[in-house]
Amino acid sequence: MALPPLDIPTYGLVSLGGVTTGLSLFAWDFTRWWTSHKKRLAPKALTALAPQILCLSYGALLILSVGGIIGGAADWSLWGTNTVGDIALVYGFGSTTPTVTRASHLALTPGGHAAVIVISVVILAVCSRRGFRWDFVRQILAGISLGLASSIAGVVGWAVAPTVSWAGDYVVGLL
């Protein structure tokens, strides 16, 4: 039985493998959080989850960036997560990996791009103070993988992009 050839999407497209990779990265950290906090879900436990959700949202914002160095790096990361997931699905399980990209692309406004720069500086400041955080990297990659998805997995990009664009436009005076 011959396996189907890999048809890895290129620029700005997410495959089923990419969504699978993104959901797996999110599930890894969420499961570790859940097993350490399931006995008592106090506000302190929820604050331990907040950085993960914020990094997931940040990753979705990165893939919605129009271009440039940051947009190119996000697209390269999306290509990598698509490739890893596609290889796992095709060669590990014999499945196919269709493209599952949202039909209508969200785009950040100029103020939204300014907000992404400020958020990037905040994340770099936190990482420079506390050291390198693999949990941040995993969730940023998960957000990049899920930001363009058309299903419920892509709700991160759908909810975050307009909010950040509006806030960025409002703060810098474009509204």
Q: Give yes or no for residue 10 having a pLDDT over 60.
A: no
Global model pTM greater than 0.75: yes
| The one-letter amino acid at 10 | T
Question: Mean pLDDT over residues 142-146, rounded?
Answer: 91
Q: What is the pLDDT of residues 84-132, one digit of tens each?
A: 999 999 999 988 888 888 777 677 888 888 988 999 998 888 888 877 8
- Could you read off the pLDDT of 27-74 as tens digits, one per residue? 999 998 888 877 676 777 788 888 888 999 999 888 888 678 888 888
The string over 3-19, giving b where at least 16 C-beta atoms fall within 10 Å of a residue's C-beta and e elsewhere, is eeebebbeeebbbbbbb
Q: Does residue 89 contact residue 95 with C-beta atoms inside 8 Å?
A: yes
172: CB partners within 8 A, 6+ apart: 110, 111, 114
